[in-house]
Amino acid sequence: MSIAALKGRVGDVLVEHEAVDVDGLAVCATAQPADADGISLLLRHASELGMAAIPCGSRTQIAYGNLPQRADFLLSTQRLCGVDDFDPGEGVCHVAAGTRLDALRAQVGAHGWRVPLDLPGPCSVGGALATGLTGPRAQGMGLPRDAVLGLEVVHASGTRTRCGARVVKNVTGYDLAKLYTGSLGTLGVLTAAWLRLQPAPAAERALEIPVAFADAVQVALEVSGAASLQACVLSTTRQGPRVWVELAGDAPGVEARARALIRDYAAREAELADFEEVAQCQHGCGERELRFRLAVPPRQLASAWSLLARAGARLLAHPGLSLVYAWFGVDAAESAFVEVAEAAGAGQWWCEAAPSRIKQGRDVFGDMGSRLPLVRALKHSFDADAVLNPGRFAGRI
């Protein structure tokens, strides 16, 4: 009924369809506004009607988060697409939120720049920033929060706002872009971003180092501190534990580092494509699996690793980023949450993927400690009527 009312106000932007499952919730409509003004209009009416929306981009990470509390429609930014300002002499670009990463990469790559967001190509820029997720290359590229110079955001009320700017250094007012990045669309819908690009490295090499399970973490930590290293993955998924490294930079430095790794660690040359395959492993999760991410300081990494191994998890680590990924079978779900919390210790953990029924009654973002009241108050301050992605974010807000 309210869908009809909303459709009456916004017209064809809203399309009703067969119910699609979003983490256990059936959603029967999708809005695809053509621009930020369209999103603004839509949200103004939706909030007046007391409706709730799940913002999304390419939907590659649509299952990331807590169970939605309620949702009347999906709000897609897919039609907000393209790079409308890119100066190759500047190394910054203004990109619409729905733009796919692979499209953006192709466009700026032609001029010698790269996008410091390490997620698979089909992901949208908006999705990458809203989830704040990253692959192992964040070690060399930095985190998504560091790549964002400015954001355009539509608040739940439909108000369009901007924070940051196109310049590479800026302390004009509060750094709201940090707050929006990784907020899973719960404070506002991202419609465009100014990104800081990086010079594409002149040379890249991949190497693999076979290691014994017992000292795998130690070797990975040692190796991951090397210069010219942009990514390091400790993988157990193929033939035994392997430390994979990707070197990037000027050719002489990359060559020297590669020679040193071959000499000191008996590293073997690998194809960049093989490394890419390993780098993608973090995103996989079977239907009958749970995937956790843990952030554990290097000093505790080895003990967390062996504890998770003993608990029967399949493991992957990005040691340079202090991140461990652990997969558990759905049958071991109950104990998995206990083991993961224990392994994380004073660190942090997230359940990144799990069947909806496992998420029931849990907060997949782990424990927020003393921050919870502030996080709740922020959500209330920006979206008092819980229009945007209610229930999905940390603290189930």
Partner 1 sequence: MSALLRDLESAVGIGGCLWRPEELLPYECDGLTLGSQQAAAVVLPRSREEVQAVVRACRRHRVSFVPRGAGTGLSGGAVAHAAVVIECSRMDRIREVDAVDRVAVVEPGVVNADLSKAVVHLGLHYAPDPSSQLACTLGGNFAENSGGPHTLKYGATSRHVLGLELVLPDGEVVELGSRTGFATGYDLVGAVVGSEGTLGVVTAGTVRLTAIPEAVETLLAIFPDVVSACRAVTGIIRKGLLPAALEIVDQRTIRAVEASVYAAGLPTDAGAVLLVEIDGPAEDLAGQVEAVRGLCASEGASRVDVARDDAERQRFWRARKGAFGAMGRLAPDLYVHDAVVPRARLPEVLDAVCEIGDRYRLKLSNVFHAGDGNLHPNISFDRRDADELARVLAAGEEILRTCVAAGGVITGEHGVGSEKRDFMGLVFSEDDLDAMRRLRSVFDPDAVCNPDKVLPTPHFCAEANPKARGYDRVPFE
Per CB under 8 A, 120 contacts partner 1? no
* Partners of 258 in beta bridges: none
Which range in 70-78, 115-123, 304-312, 371-379 contacts partner 1 by CB under 8 A? 371-379
315: Cα separation from own chain's centroid: 19
Which of 166/283 has CB closer to partner 1?
166
Residue holding tokens 């973090």? 282
Which of 178/314 has CB closer to partner 1?
178
Per CB under 8 A, 109 contacts partner 1? no
CB of 249 to partner 1, least distance (A): 6
Per CB under 8 A, 169 contacts partner 1? yes
**How many residues belong to the site for partner 1 (CB under 8 A)?**
80
Question: In 10 A of CB 321, how many CB atoms?
Answer: 18
Which one of residues 136, 241, 347, 390 is an interface residue with partner 1 (CB under 8 A)? 347
Per CB under 8 A, 335 contacts partner 1? no
Which range in 20-28, 97-105, 224-232, 266-274 contacts partner 1 by CB under 8 A? 224-232
The whole-angstrom separation of Cα 264 and Cα 147 is 34
Question: In 10 A of CB 35, how many CB atoms?
Answer: 14
The CA distances from residue 263 to 108, 256, 260, in Å, are 36, 11, 5
Per CB under 8 A, 263 contacts partner 1? no
Alpha helix ranges (H) inside the chain: 2-10, 36-48, 101-109, 125-131, 138-141, 144-147, 176-180, 216-224, 251-265, 272-280, 298-310, 333-344, 356-359, 372-382
Which of 14/188 has CB closer to partner 1?
188
> Interface mask (CB under 8 A) for partner 1, residues 1-20, using x and -?
--------------------
Per CB under 8 A, 256 contacts partner 1? yes
Cα torsion angle, 175, 98, 390, 145, sign: negative
Which of 47/228 has CB closer to partner 1?
228
User: Phi-psi bin for 158: left (phi > 0), alpha (psi -120 to 50), beta?
Assistant: left
369: CB partners within 8 A, 6+ apart: none
Which of 73/350 has CB closer to partner 1?
350
Which range in 46-54, 70-78, 96-104, 156-164 contacts partner 1 by CB under 8 A? 156-164
Per CB under 8 A, 228 contacts partner 1? yes
The whole-angstrom separation of Cα 72 and Cα 229 is 45
143: CB partners within 8 A, 6+ apart: 132, 134
**End-to-end CA gap in the chain:** 25
Which one of residues 62, 348, 355, 385 is an interface residue with partner 1 (CB under 8 A)? 348
DSSP three-state, residue 277: helix
Per CB under 8 A, 317 contacts partner 1? no
Which range in 45-53, 142-150, 207-215, 306-314 contacts partner 1 by CB under 8 A? 142-150
Which range in 97-105, 167-175, 209-217, 304-312 contacts partner 1 by CB under 8 A? 167-175
Per CB under 8 A, 110 contacts partner 1? no
Per CB under 8 A, 142 contacts partner 1? yes
Which of 29/140 has CB closer to partner 1?
140
CB of 251 to partner 1, least distance (A): 8
> Interface mask (CB under 8 A) for partner 1, residues 188-207, using x and -?
----------xxx-------
* Subset of 87-106 contacting partner 1 (CB under 8 A): 87-92
The whole-angstrom separation of Cα 159 and Cα 69 is 24
